[in-house]
């Protein structure tokens, strides 16, 4: 996946009145937090931000370009007005790519198990797994192909195969999916 870039500008004014003025100019007030907890107030273009925000997951790393200074960052949180369909505020978390981070992933499934086609029932056991990796090595999402699973077979956490750079913290013997016989 290509690296997504969001251009930003520093801002000095804060508060409700300043935020309304920023939004009227087609920008979104935002804050960048670094690993030490230091906060920097910025603004981002609302069209560019929405294009990126609507196409990523919570584990997608974006490049935040603040007036020429580039950060690798996650979009940590957004304040969203559902009535106006508008992002009101965004929080970014800048990372150094030197310290591993821990993230939880909801498991997504693709395909239809062979056992289901033979009359069995797919049973989902563990809904999410925890992984640890450098931010640049984190998978965007975890999708498991369940099509080869037959009746009586079990797909375990250790069978995911996420690569050498990702450490799975969930117990490897935990079952993710199994196919039970029809009763």
Write out pLDDT tens, residues 100-157. 888 888 999 999 999 888 888 999 998 889 999 988 888 888 899 999 999 989 999 8
Q: Locate 6 and state its tokens.
A: 């969001």
Burial of 34 (0-12, 13-18, 19+ CB in 10 A): middle
* Pairing mode, strands 121-124 and 142-145: unpaired
Q: What pTM value is reported for the model? A: 0.74
Q: What is the pLDDT of residue 37?
A: 81
**Region for residue 54 given its phi and psi (left: phi exceeds 0; alpha: psi -120 to 50; beta: otherwise):** alpha
| Residue 2 clears pLDDT 80, i.e. is over it | no
């Amino acid at each position: 996946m290509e690296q997504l870039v969001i251009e930003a500008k520093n801002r000095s004014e804060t508060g409700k009145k300043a935020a309304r003025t920023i939004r009227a100019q087609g920008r979104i007030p935002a804050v960048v937090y670094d690993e030490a907890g230091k906060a920097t107030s910025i603004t981002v273009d609302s069209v560019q931000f929405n294009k990126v925000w609507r196409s990523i997951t919570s584990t997608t790393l974006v490049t935040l370009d603040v007036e020429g200074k580039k950060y690798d960052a996650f979009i940590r949180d957004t304040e969203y007005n559902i009535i106006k369909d508008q992002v009101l505020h965004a929080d970014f978390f800048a990372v150094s790519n030197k310290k591993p981070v821990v993230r939880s992933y909801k498991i997504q499934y693709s395909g239809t198990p062979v056992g289901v086609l033979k009359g069995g029932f797919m049973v989902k056991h563990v809904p999410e797994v925890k992984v640890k990796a450098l931010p640049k090595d984190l998978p965007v999402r975890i999708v498991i192909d369940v099509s080869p699973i037959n009746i009586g077979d079990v797909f375990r956490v250790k069978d995911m195969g996420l690569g050498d750079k990702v450490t799975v913290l969930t117990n490897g013997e935990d079952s993710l999916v199994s196919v039970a016989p029809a009763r």
